[in-house]
């Protein structure tokens, strides 16, 4: 019963059995993964990524028609196709939208809310959390720098103290480095409405990512999932965490090439930033779809060092919930034992 009490805020908000969000991972969080997560009581997120408009609309419609449980669609605000995806989603009967990549404008949040959707966005520090709440966001996701893909620069340990302990106006979900039910239990005890996982769900049988991609995850150590640096403030880039390979090194060279072109006036800053995002979209597809684990992008959180086996989604979620309940019982027992 303690688990249900602690998770009630999250489950009530999401409308699901368990307060677990499957993060929207480009090229990975497709309909098949969304359905598997929903069927097992957790909350799925369809990744918009940089899908062309016709593909995006088809995937969204498929979820609307075939799912009878809540789900969200993830929109990457820095994606070249963000604006057209946003306009398509406005007219769709999708219950939730998650803004990712960067921070949504107030008008974008309000537009989705007016179309009947609940909105969620990421907070990478206290001031951003305050801003998003002021803009009317319905829930926040604290994603520590331990997470995979596009990340902020602050660890979840600090964000918990900076945001979770200080803002209770909206449900606050937490993400980054989470791969066990024991950790979920303690985060609920701290006041989190629930947790978001990504890397752990890549290792599900239902995930359609290439077998090579999953094998790379199974072999990786936490220290190998590194964040990309920004070399120069003239070319702002959102850090990306991925397992280091030739693709990671190639991105470093791309930044230097783009900076030289900026210096020479060959391209604009906007064009350079577009090239950066275009690189990640293509590199991730090569790894996830084609199985190119040397030249493609192996976006993964540091929790990749905690997952080793490919399992059915049902087993993954049941294991997380059993561990969480057992840990809460253990905590209760420790607290009631005489000192």
For 266-299, give the DSSP string.
SS-HHHHHHHHHHHHHHHHHHHHTT--TTTS-EE
Q: What single string gives the DSSP state of each residue in 50-84?
A: T--HHHHHHHHHHHHHH--S--EEEEETTSTTHHH
Per the structure block, which two tokens stand in for 161?
A: 């103290």
pLDDT at 209 over 90: yes
Q: State the pLDDT confidence band at 107, using cuts at 50, 70 and 90.
A: very high
- pLDDT of res. 150: 85
Measured CA to CA, the distance from residue 306 to residue 32 in angstroms comes to 24
- pLDDT of res. 231: 83
What letter would DSSP give residue 179? Answer: -
- Rounded-to-10 torsion of CA 9, 318, 306, 164: 0
- pLDDT of res. 101: 83
pLDDT at 121 over 90: yes
- pLDDT of res. 71: 98
Q: State the pLDDT confidence band at 69, using cuts at 50, 70 and 90.
A: very high
pLDDT at 220 over 90: yes
Q: Which residues make up the CATH 3.20.20.70 domain(s) of the chain?
A: 2-208+309-336
Residue whose entry in the numeric block shows the structure tokens 């007219």: 91
- Rounded-to-10 torsion of CA 7, 12, 18, 21: -100
Mean pLDDT, to the nearest integer, of 301-326?
A: 97
- pLDDT of res. 274: 80
Per the structure block, which two tokens stand in for 46?
A: 């369809």
Closest CA to 97 of 137, 42, 133, 155: 137
- pLDDT of res. 228: 87
Measured CA to CA, the distance from residue 97 to residue 48 in angstroms comes to 10
- pLDDT of res. 30: 96
Per the structure block, which two tokens stand in for 80?
A: 């070249």
pLDDT tens column, 155-206: 999 999 999 999 999 999 999 999 999 999 999 999 999 999 999 999 999 9
pLDDT tens column, 25-57: 999 999 999 999 999 999 999 999 888 999 999
- pLDDT of res. 139: 98
Specify the pTM.
0.93
- pLDDT of res. 235: 84
pLDDT tens column, 74-88: 999 988 889 999 999
- pLDDT of res. 252: 84
pLDDT, mean over the chain:
94
pLDDT tens column, 221-258: 999 999 988 888 888 877 889 999 999 888 888 888 99
Measured CA to CA, the distance from residue 147 to residue 186 in angstroms comes to 18
User: In Å, what is the CA distance from 26 to each residue of 46, 74, 315?
Assistant: 9, 9, 23
CA atoms within 13 A on the CB side of 104: 31
pLDDT tens column, 251-295: 888 888 999 998 899 998 888 888 887 788 789 999 999 999 999
Q: Look up the CATH superfamily of 2-208+309-336.
A: Aldolase class I (3.20.20.70)
- pLDDT of res. 337: 84
pLDDT at 72 over 90: yes
Mean pLDDT, to the nearest integer, of 129-146?
A: 97
């Amino acid at each position: 019963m303690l688990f249900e009490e602690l998770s009630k805020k999250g489950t009530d908000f999401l409308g699901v059995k368990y307060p677990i969000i499957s993060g929207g991972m480009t090229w990975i969080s497709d309909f098949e993964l969304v359905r598997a997560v929903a069927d097992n009581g957790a909350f799925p997120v369809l990744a918009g990524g940089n899908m062309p408009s016709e593909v995006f609309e088809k995937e969204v419609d498929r979820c609307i028609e075939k799912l009878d449980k809540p789900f969200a669609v993830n929109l990457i605000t820095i994606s070249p196709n963000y604006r057209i995806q946003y306009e398509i989603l406005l007219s769709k009967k999708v219950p939730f939208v998650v803004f990712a990549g960067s921070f949504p404008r107030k008008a974008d949040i309000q537009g989705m809310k007016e179309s009947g959707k609940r909105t969620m966005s990421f907070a990478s520090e206290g001031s951003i959390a305050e801003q998003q709440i002021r803009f009317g966001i319905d829930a926040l996701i604290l994603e520590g720098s331990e997470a995979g893909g596009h990340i902020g620069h602050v660890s979840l340990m600090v964000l918990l103290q900076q945001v979770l302990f200080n803002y209770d106006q909206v449900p606050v979900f937490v993400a980054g480095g989470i791969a066990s039910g024991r950790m979920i239990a303690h985060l609920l005890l701290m006041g989190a409405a629930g947790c978001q996982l990504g890397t752990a769900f890549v290792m599900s049988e239902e995930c359609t990512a290439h077998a090579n991609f999953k094998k790379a995850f199974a072999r990786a150590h936490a220290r190998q999932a590194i964040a990309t640096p920004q070399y120069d403030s003239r070319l702002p880039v959102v850090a990306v965490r991925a397992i280091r390979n030739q693709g990671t090194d190639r991105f470093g060279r791309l930044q230097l090439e783009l900076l030289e072109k900026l210096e020479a006036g060959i391209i604009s800053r906007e064009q350079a930033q577009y090239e950066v995002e275009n690189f990640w979209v293509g590199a991730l597809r090569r790894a996830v779809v084609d199985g190119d684990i040397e030249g493609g992008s192996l976006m993964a959180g540091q929790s990749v060092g905690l997952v080793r086996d490919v399992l059915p989604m049902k087993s993954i979620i049941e294991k997380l919930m059993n561990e969480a309940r057992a840990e809460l019982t253990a905590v209760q027992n420790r607290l009631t034992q005489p000192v």
